[in-house]
């Protein structure tokens, strides 16, 4: 039986998703991240893992970020930003938290695949990564893998944008990197 190399197919899928995402989305996110004193990050399941990786990178940039639901997460204020990841845009716990953040006056950003979702309707800024999720779409990959991978790369590109805009070097990031490992 001939082995099929899936890596190339996966990379093509991710590339297609990211090419369909307007460059304006990344610029909007970079500007939003620079303007807020604290950034709160939220996601459930594998999207939550991507959210945590992004929060870590923000800390390494010297920004203040918190992962919603962690025991050390402080209170959100009207001056803060909440960024949520949800492929479907219908994750009930995330909807509830976004609504609570809006009640407190915080700005909210959703990164989703579903531009008509409940979260897209209630968020201040909507970033669409049009891809398969566990609920809909087509991909050679299972469940929400394509959305999660695309979100990870989009957020890593956002980190590069912040580095450039704020003139942050990798050396500075190394100084902010966790040293209790």
Look up 181 and say whether it is catalytic: no
Instruction: Indicate the pairing of strand 81-86 with strand 107-112.
Output: parallel
For 109-128, letters b (16+ CB in 10 Å) and e give bbbbbbeebbbbebbebbbb
Q: And the tokens for 133? A: 């999720």
SS3 102: helix
Q: Is 56 exposed, middle or buried (0-12, 13-18, 19+ CB in 10 A)?
A: middle
* CA distances from residue 24 to 9, 38, 70, 126, 158 in whole angstroms, order as listed: 27, 22, 31, 11, 11
What is the C-alpha separation between 115 and 53, in angstroms, rounded? Answer: 24
Which of 148, 156, 170, 171 is an active site residue? Answer: 148
The residues annotated with a catalytic role in the active site are 148
């Amino acid at each position: 039986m001939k082995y099929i190399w899936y890596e190339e197919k996966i990379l093509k899928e991710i590339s297609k998703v990211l090419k369909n995402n307007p460059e304006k989305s990344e610029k909007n996110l970079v500007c939003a991240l620079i303007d807020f004193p604290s950034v709160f990050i939220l996601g459930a399941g594998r999207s939550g893992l991507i959210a945590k990786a992004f929060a870590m990178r923000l800390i390494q940039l010297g920004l203040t970020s918190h992962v919603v639901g962690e025991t050390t997460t402080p209170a959100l204020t009207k001056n803060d930003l909440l960024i949520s990841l949800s492929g479907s845009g219908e994750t009930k716990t995330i909807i509830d938290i976004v609504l609570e953040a809006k009640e407190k006056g915080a700005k909210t950003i959703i990164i989703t695949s579903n531009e008509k979702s409940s979260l897209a309707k209630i968020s201040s800024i909507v970033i669409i990564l049009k891809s398969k999720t566990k609920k809909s779409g087509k991909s050679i990959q299972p469940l929400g893998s394509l959305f999660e991978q695309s979100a990870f790369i989009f957020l890593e590109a956002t980190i590069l944008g912040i580095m450039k805009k704020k003139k942050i070097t990798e050396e500075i990031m190394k100084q902010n990197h966790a040293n209790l490992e």
